[in-house]
Chain A
Amino acid sequence: MTGGVNPRAKAALAGLRRGRIELRQSVTSAQDLWGALFFPAVALLVMYLLRGRTVPGTAFSLGSQAVPGILALNVVLNGMMALAMTLTMDREDGTLLRAKATPNGVIGYLVGKITGRAGMVLVGLLVPLVPSLLLFDGLRPDRLDTWLILAWVLALGLAAIMPFGAILGSLASSAQGLGVVTVPMMALMAISGAFYPVTAFPGWVQAIAQAFPLYWIGLGLRSALLPAGLSAAEIGASWRHLETAAVLGLWAVAGFAAAPAVLRRMARRESGSAVAARRAKAMQRLM
C-alpha cells in the first residue's frame, strides 16, 4: 500500500482544485458577492460624501485617506471572519465530516478553504478598489511600488489572520457563537485608523490598535495607495514597513503554531452523531 508524502501531496493538489471550484461558486453567487462587497460599498459611499473634508494638517481629502483602511477592514472581514463562519457552517452541514471520512480529506479541505477564501479576499479588495480609483482623488495606482507593497502586505496579512479565522471557526460551537467575537472586532475597527487617523486617539488606544494585524494591514495599504507625504499623519510620521512586516510576521508564526492543534482537535471530535446533535440544536433555534 502506498502511503506517506505522495498521497498527502495529491490531497493538497486536490485541495487547490477544491479552492478553485469553491471560488467559482462564490463569485457566481449573488449572496456571497453581497457578503464580500456589502461593507466596502456602504463605507466607500459614506467616504465619498465626506470627500470634501481634509486630513488634519493637510489639504488631502479625508475620504481618500480612508479608502485603504476600508479595504483593509474588508480583508479582515473576508479573510478571518468569513473563514471562521464557513468553518462553523461546514461542521454543521457535515462538509468537514465528509472530509474526515476521505483519506487525507482534511488536508484537501483546509487547502481548498484557505485558497478559496484568499481568492474572495482578492475579489473583496480589487472590486471596490477599481471604482475607488475613479471616485477618489489622490490614490496612486500608477506606481509599480503600489502593487508590490499591496502584494506583500496582503500576503503577510492573510498569513497573519487566516490561521486565527480557522481557530475561531474551530472553537465556536455554532455560527451564532461567533457573535462574541464580532463586538470586539467592531471596537477594533473603530480604533484602527480606518476612518480617522489613529494619531488622533489617546496613546493607550493607539497601543491597543497596534497590537492587532488590522491596524498594520491598513497602514500597509495606506502606504501603497496614498502619496508619500501622508505618512506624516501616521504614528512616528512613517509608513513603518519594517514594523508592519514584523508584527504581521509574529501573528503569522503564532497562528501557524496554534492552528494545527486546534484544527486537529476539532476534526477529531467530528462524527455523525455530533453533526446530528448540532443540527437538532440549530432546528431548536429556528422554532
Chain B
Amino acid sequence: MKLSTSKFNETLEGMGSGAKTRSPGDDAEAVIETRDLRMRYGSAEVLRGLDLRVRRGEVVALLGPNGAGKTTTIEILEGFRRRSGGEARVLGVDPDDAGEAWRARLGIVLQSWRDHGRWRVRELLAHLGDYYAPYGAPGRPRPYDVGELLGWVGLTGQADAVIGTLSGGQRRRLDVAVGLIGRPDLLFLDEPTVGFDPQARQDFHELVHRLAGLEDTTILLTTHDLDEADRLADRIVILVAGTIVADGTAAELSRRVSGTAEVRYRLDGQAHVTSVEDATGHVRGLFERHADAITDLEVRRVRLQDVYLAMVREFESGRRTEAPRHLAEVTA
C-alpha cells in the first residue's frame, strides 16, 4: 500500500490538533513537563520544540522511527544530555542541575547494556540496591527486595548465574530489573522489548501494567512498534523528525484517522487513488459523473497502523528528512 504525502498531512493534522483539545486528568501532578524542548548537534536539529507532559501514574509511549529523536529526548530527561533550548522539568526539577536525591527516584533502562559481565545476577542487583537505601521513605522503601524483583522479571532461576552467560532475552530482563531496583517513581524504558520472544514480551507487558497500577510508577517508554505502544501505554506520542506529530490514546488516534478512507479506481483505464473523509459520498459522485467508465473500485478504511507505517517508510527512505511544514505548524 502506498499513501500520498497529502494523506498523512491531512490525517496527522487531525491527530495533532485533536491532541490539543483532549484533557483527561490534566490537573494531575506532572511528572515530566517540557516546553519547546530543542536539541541541536552542530547544524543538525534533532529536536524541534517538544511540548511533552506526562502525569503521575501514566504510561506514555514515545513512538517513532529510528532517528526521530526518541533517545535524545529520553537522555535529556534522564539528565544525561544537556538540551540546546527550551524548558524541562522532571519530578519537578530541571534535569540539567538535579542532584543524586532526584536520581534516586529515577529508573533507567537503556537500549543495550553489556556491563558487569563477570558479576552474578543477584550480586549486582543487591550491590546497586545499596545505593538507593538512604533514599527510602516510610511510604516508599528502597530498594526492592532482590528475590521479589527477580520473580517479577522471571530470573529467579538465574539468580546465581554469571551475567555474561545470560541469553539476550535474559540479559534484557536483568536490565529491566536493574532499572527497577531502586523502586523508581519514574521509569524510562528505551526500546525495552528488543530481543524478547513472544512469551517474554507478554510477561513484560504484565510487569509494566503492574508497575503502573500497583507500584505507582510513572513510565515513559520508547518504541518503534505501534502495536506495542498500543498494548502498553495509556497514551501514545508520535515523534517524527524531532517533532511531535500526534498525541493521544491509541483509541483516540485510531478514531481520528479511521474517519479517512482510501478510494482506488480506474477511470478509462487510468489508475487513481484519493483519500477522502466521506467515502460513500465520494463514490456516489464518481458513479454519477463517470458511470461505467469507473472500474476496479476499491474502498479501504485507513488504519492508524497504515498511516504510521507509511510515514516511517517515507522518513526512512530519506525522502523526508524533516516533518511536513504544516504539521510542524500544527504542533508548534
Whether A276 and B112, one on each chain, are in contact in the complex, defined by CB atoms closer than 8 angstroms, is yes
Binary CB contact string for chain B from 113 to 137 against chain A (1 if under 8 A, 0 otherwise): 1111111000100011011111101
Question: Closest residue of chain A to B99, judged by CB?
Answer: A3
Whether B111 and A272, one on each chain, are in contact in the complex, defined by CB atoms closer than 8 angstroms, is yes
Stretch among B24-32, B71-79, B211-219, B225-233 lining the A interface: B71-79
B178 within 8 A of A: yes
Contacts of B108 in A (CB 8 A): 101
Whether A93 and B134, one on each chain, are in contact in the complex, defined by CB atoms closer than 8 angstroms, is no
Q: How many A-B residue pairs have CB under 8 A?
A: 96
Question: Closest residue of chain A to B136, judged by CB?
Answer: A2
Whether A10 and B110, one on each chain, are in contact in the complex, defined by CB atoms closer than 8 angstroms, is no
A14 within 8 A of B: yes
Chain A residues touching B, range: 20 to 34
Contacts of A94 in B (CB 8 A): 110, 112-115
Whether A103 and B123, one on each chain, are in contact in the complex, defined by CB atoms closer than 8 angstroms, is no
Assuming A14-B127, A29-B118, is B113 touching A273 (CB within 8 A)? no
Instruction: Say which residue of A103, A271, A275 sits within 8 Å of B100 (CB atoms).
Output: A103
A40 within 8 A of B: no
What secondary structure prevails in chain A residues at the interface with B?
A: helix
Whether B118 and A98, one on each chain, are in contact in the complex, defined by CB atoms closer than 8 angstroms, is no
Contacts of B58 in A (CB 8 A): none
Question: Closest residue of chain B to A92, judged by CB?
Answer: B114
Stretch among A17-25, A56-64, A159-167, A178-186 lining the B interface: A17-25
Rounded to whole angstroms, the CA-CA distance of A18 and B123 in the bound complex is 10
Question: Closest residue of chain B to A1, judged by CB?
Answer: B101
Whether A108 and B78, one on each chain, are in contact in the complex, defined by CB atoms closer than 8 angstroms, is no
Assuming A101-B103, A104-B100, A276-B111, is B178 touching A6 (CB within 8 A)? no
| B contacts with A, residue count (CB < 8 A) | 36
Whether B131 and A104, one on each chain, are in contact in the complex, defined by CB atoms closer than 8 angstroms, is yes
Rounded to whole angstroms, the CA-CA distance of A98 and B178 in the bound complex is 9
Contacts of A2 in B (CB 8 A): 101, 134-135
Rounded to whole angstroms, the CA-CA distance of A80 and B81 in the bound complex is 30
Whether B127 and A1, one on each chain, are in contact in the complex, defined by CB atoms closer than 8 angstroms, is no
Whether B135 and A90, one on each chain, are in contact in the complex, defined by CB atoms closer than 8 angstroms, is no
Rounded to whole angstroms, the CA-CA distance of A103 and B108 in the bound complex is 12
A100 within 8 A of B: yes
B182 within 8 A of A: yes
B190 within 8 A of A: yes
Instruction: Say which residue of B115, B119, B133 sits within 8 Å of A90 (CB atoms).
Output: B115
Contacts of A101 in B (CB 8 A): 78, 103, 106, 108
Whether A103 and B131, one on each chain, are in contact in the complex, defined by CB atoms closer than 8 angstroms, is yes
Docked complex: A82-137 residues within 8 A CB-CB of B: 90, 93-95, 97-98, 100-105, 108
Instruction: Say which residue of A10, A97, A272 sits within 8 Å of B133 (CB atoms).
Output: A10
Docked complex: A258-287 residues within 8 A CB-CB of B: 270-273, 275-276, 279
Whether B127 and A7, one on each chain, are in contact in the complex, defined by CB atoms closer than 8 angstroms, is no
Question: Closest residue of chain A to B123, judged by CB?
Answer: A21
Docked complex: B41-81 residues within 8 A CB-CB of A: 71-72, 75, 78, 80-81
Rounded to whole angstroms, the CA-CA distance of A108 and B75 in the bound complex is 22
A252 within 8 A of B: no
Whether A93 and B111, one on each chain, are in contact in the complex, defined by CB atoms closer than 8 angstroms, is no
A209 within 8 A of B: no
Rounded to whole angstroms, the CA-CA distance of A273 and B76 in the bound complex is 11
Contacts of B137 in A (CB 8 A): 1
Whether B116 and A18, one on each chain, are in contact in the complex, defined by CB atoms closer than 8 angstroms, is no
Most chain B Cβ neighbours within 10 Å, of A98, A101, A104, A275? A101
B104 within 8 A of A: yes
**16 new A-B pairs (CB below 8 Å) besides A104-B100, A272-B80?**
A2-B101, A11-B130, A25-B119, A90-B115, A93-B117, A94-B110, A97-B110, A97-B115, A103-B100, A103-B135, A105-B128, A271-B80, A271-B81, A272-B75, A273-B75, A276-B111
Residues of B near any A CB (own CB < 8 A): 71-72, 75, 78, 80-81, 99-101, 103-104, 106, 108, 110-119, 123, 127-128, 130-135, 137, 178, 182, 190
* A to B CB contacts below 8 Å, 7 in the list: A7-B135, A11-B130, A90-B115, A101-B106, A108-B131, A270-B80, A272-B111
